[in-house]
Amino acid sequence: GAVVSQHPSWVICKSGTSVKIECRSLDFQATTMFWYRQFPKQSLMLMATSNEGSKATYEQGVEKDKFLINHASLTLSTLTVTSAHPEDSSFYICSAVPPSGRNLPEQFFGPGTRLTVL
């Protein structure tokens, strides 16, 4: 149980275009999902907290107008990288907290999406 998927697993796009990444909890409902970015040989950096039915909470230094997050249902959160540039190339990973996480805050991670902006 507690499976999280991401789509696509990789994407290559031209500079200036927008890219949407989906994060789905397959066998549980997640009121809270998180989005991380990981550059090569670096750690996971939390970008934002996605809450179902409300606006995302962004970490300091993350541009909310560039990284649009929508959590329209209890099983789906989307991250849209708008007007992507080469410096946005990274590994984007989502995670979700199942309802049982109210007592034990374990997060379940998606497989990640590798974005390459040319």
Partner 1 sequence: GENVEQHPSTLSVQEGDSAVIKCTYSDSASNYFPWYKQELGKRPQLIIDIRSNVGEKKDQRIAVTLNKTAKHFSLHITETQPEDSAVYFCAASPIGYKLIFGSGTRLLVRP
Out of 11, 13, 44, 68, name the contact with partner 1 by CB under 8 A. 44
Task: Round to whole Å and give the CA distance between 93 and 33.
Answer: 11
Stretch that binds partner 1, among 16-24, 39-47, 62-70, 75-83 (CB under 8 A): 39-47
Task: Round to whole Å and give the CA distance between 91 and 76.
Answer: 19
Residue 33 tokens, joined: 């999902």
Task: Round to whole Å and give the CA distance between 105 and 103.
Answer: 6
Out of 28, 34, 67, 92, name the contact with partner 1 by CB under 8 A. 34
Out of 56, 93, 115, 117, name the contact with partner 1 by CB under 8 A. 93
Task: Round to whole Å and give the CA distance between 54 and 65.
Answer: 16
Per CB under 8 A, residues contacting partner 1 are 32, 34, 42-46, 49, 60, 91, 93, 95, 97, 101, 104-107, 109-112, 114
